[in-house]
Amino acid sequence: MSASTATRGSPPINPRKLRADLRLSRERMARLLDVSVKTIERWEARDARPTSPHLRSRLAKLQEIAELGLIVYRAEGFTTFLTVPIVQFGGRTALQVIEQGEPERVFAALAADYEGLGY
């Protein structure tokens, strides 16, 4: 599923569940999305969603990363993938790469790992 598909035809993304799947603090989630912690709290408290197409797209990209990451690595391995510096990311962590505006690189790395499993 692409980010554009997720923003149009799929069920809305649950920010609280996404944050839990990524095992992120509200602060880290806010940095990844370039919003305030209060915004994350508001989305979670009201079960609300962002209204900006740009933010919906960013959430959809994070959702894609979380879904594929949990398939490829399961929960504990996915946490390691997100938080340990990786050579292919220039010594940065996957979360740092996402935070710096390159979520597609992280998704591509997960897709390559998925294909390497022989599926």
Sign of CA dihedral 11, 32, 18, 82: positive
7-19 per-position pLDDT tens digit: 455 678 889 999 9
Extract the tokens encoding 78: 């996915």
Question: What is the pTM assigned to this prediction?
Answer: 0.84
Q: What is the band of 64 on the pLDDT scale with cuts at 50, 70, 90?
A: very high
C-alpha span between 23 and 115 (Å, rounded): 24
pLDDT at position 73, please? 94
* pLDDT computed for residue 4 by the predictor: 42
In whole angstroms, give the CA distance from residue 46 to residue 80: 31
Q: Please report where in the chains the tokens 């969603």 appear, as a residue.
A: 49
Please tell me the predicted confidence (pLDDT) of residue 8. 52
Measure CA 51 to chain center.
18
Question: Which pLDDT band holds residue 119 (cuts at 50, 70, 90)?
Answer: very low
Confidence at residue 2, expressed as pLDDT on a 0 to 100 scale: 43
What mean pLDDT do residues 45-71 have? 91
Give the pLDDT confidence score for residue 3 in this predicted structure.
44
Task: Give the number of domains in the chain.
Answer: 1
pLDDT at 23: 94
Q: What is the mean pLDDT of the chain?
A: 88
Range of the domain at 54: 3-116
Tell me the Cα Rg of the chain.
Answer: 14
